[in-house]
Structure 1
Amino acid sequence: MKILCWNTNESVWAHWLKVAPSENTLLRVLSLDELKALIEVNNSEQIEYCFIYLSDQDFSAMVEYSVDIRREFPNLKIIVFPNRPSQSAALRMLSQGINGQCSPYIGAKQLKMVLSVIDMGEIWSGKAFINNLIAANPMQADTDEIESEDSLNTLSKKEIEVAFHIAKGLNNKQIASEMLISDRTVKSHITNIFRKTNTKDRLGLALLVQKSNSTH
């Protein structure tokens, strides 16, 4: 599998070369134009992933470039690697479909886990990250996009349990392990939960559960 890497930092690039799975080929670009050109050149040999390093110097611009790339290449799996934490930037990118956010100096084992989770259709965020997003954006739960917390009452006992695990930041495998059920069953529950609560993603559901907890 080819991984397209937009990275202008030599130290981070050297680290990615060390921690990337051996079966992957990393292709480096230094600009947005290079990135788009390389995707077009490699059309016959599909590039599945794009890693984007968000430097301090051009942080805000890189956030918007990442969102633009997501819109232009909807089938590309995009992981961003910010050099500094920003909850607002993370919320902006994840809400627009970015597949995950990681530390630029992520370890080899964790990177392999991240790729595995995203390959299963999940967003990589982690428990602490989701909790921080919820804490940093309490007003989000009051927007019209979030269904009333009464919709949680339509869930079965098992679906409620899954919903609360999602609100804690657990991925599908972790939920399956906690509930002693299969990954397929977890996915089925999540599909039903999204439909019944009119939520579109895990963050929206987590905010809904948070809102419910705050009113009870």
Structure 2
Amino acid sequence: METIRVIIIDEQPLFREGVRATLERMGDCTIVGESTDAADVLEIARTGNPDVALIDAGLTSSDPLEIARQARHIAPRMAIIILTPSEDEERLFQSIKVGAAAYCSRNITADELMDAVRRVSHGEYLIRDDVLSKPQLASRVLKSFREMTVEEEEGETKDPYSPLSSREVEILDYIARGNSNKEIAKSLKISDQTVKNHITSILKKLSVNDRTAAVVHALRHGWIKMHEEEREQR
């Protein structure tokens, strides 16, 4: 049984204690660090080989989204769960931009927290459900995603030569459609682990840190296309 390695970044000692106790009940989870200091968190991300980071969106000592962004740059396969004190579409939008995998209320139950940690550690992207339930936010995310794919210079020539295999391009296309690893595995009739292996290979070949950056890179080079109509129908 693989151990899920977790960082807890929260200013309230009692809340941290509750989160730690909850995750330790899972049996396959270990806490590799707790801190609210940005430098400490990044050092843990660098040395602790974390799978998941739980980050309090209400941090006052540091910028939680900047911590998330820098931590994922250091540990690109680490999944981020943003814990928020209240529903806030702007904070959700910014969480998406830094690559968070889940956006949960601090009122989350113990069972819900354990489920979220386990699922994001397996490569699932839970934040998509929050986006799809808010049409205006979904439109904003789509617009931002489109802007990220605009060429730096108008008329720049696309590069038809991809370092990716046909299967890797196919997987990137599924990611661009908003599919989770499990959904991709089901559609392609392969295992979740095979999908994760392909994504790791994609990130390495493209020298990028996360799925979104890989999709943007592929879009810019014309290897896949933006599925605008399908996204807007959701």
Is the shorter-chain TM-score for this pair beyond 0.5, marking a shared fold?
A: yes
**Superposition map of 1:1-216 within 5 A:** 1=3, 2-20=5-23, 21-26=26-31, 27-40=33-46, 43=47, 46-55=49-58, 58=60, 61-125=63-127, 127-132=129-134, 133-134=137-138, 139-140=143-144, 143=147, 145=149, 184=191, 198=219, 208-211=229-232, 213=233
For residues 176 and 72 of structure 1, the distance between their equivalents in structure 2, rounded to whole angstroms, comes to 27
Instruction: Give the direction of change, closer, same or farther, for the CA distance of 1:63–1:15 in structure 2 (3 Å limit).
Output: same
Instruction: Give the direction of change, closer, same or farther, for the CA distance of 1:144–1:208 in structure 2 (3 Å limit).
Output: farther
For residues 86 and 28 of structure 1, the distance between their equivalents in structure 2, rounded to whole angstroms, comes to 25
For residues 75 and 65 of structure 1, the distance between their equivalents in structure 2, rounded to whole angstroms, comes to 15
What is the deviation of 1:13? 1.4
> How many residues are aligned here?
185
Instruction: Give the direction of change, closer, same or farther, for the CA distance of 1:34–1:183 in structure 2 (3 Å limit).
Output: same
Instruction: Give the direction of change, closer, same or farther, for the CA distance of 1:183–1:16 in structure 2 (3 Å limit).
Output: farther
For residues 93 and 18 of structure 1, the distance between their equivalents in structure 2, rounded to whole angstroms, comes to 26
What are the ranges of 5 or more consecutive residues in structure 2 without an aligned counterpart?
151-169, 200-214
Conserved 8 A contact 1:19-1:107: no
Instruction: Give the direction of change, closer, same or farther, for the CA distance of 1:106–1:24 in structure 2 (3 Å limit).
Output: same
Conserved 8 A contact 1:82-1:101: yes
For residues 9 and 93 of structure 1, the distance between their equivalents in structure 2, rounded to whole angstroms, comes to 21
User: After superposition, what is the alpha-carbon deviation per residue over 1:138-176, rounded to whole angstroms, capped at 9, x for unaligned?
Assistant: 744764739xxxxxxxxxxxx9xxx8xx77xx8565798
Question: AA paired with 1:18?
Answer: A
User: After superposition, what is the alpha-carbon deviation per residue over 1:97-118, rounded to whole angstroms, capped at 9, x for unaligned?
Assistant: 2222222232233223323332
Question: AA paired with 1:103?
Answer: S
For residues 43 and 10 of structure 2, the distance between their equivalents in structure 1, rounded to whole angstroms, comes to 15
- Aligned CA-pair RMSD: 4.4
Question: AA paired with 2:86?
Answer: R
User: After superposition, what is the alpha-carbon deviation per residue over 1:75-109, rounded to whole angstroms, capped at 9, x for unaligned?
Assistant: 33222212222223322332332222222232233
Question: AA paired with 1:30?
Answer: T
Instruction: Give the direction of change, closer, same or farther, for the CA distance of 1:62–1:210 in structure 2 (3 Å limit).
Output: same
What are the ranges of 5 or more consecutive residues in structure 1 without an aligned counterpart?
147-158
What is the deviation of 1:28? 1.5
Conserved 8 A contact 1:6-1:28: yes
Question: AA paired with 2:149?
Answer: E
Conserved 8 A contact 2:87-2:105: no
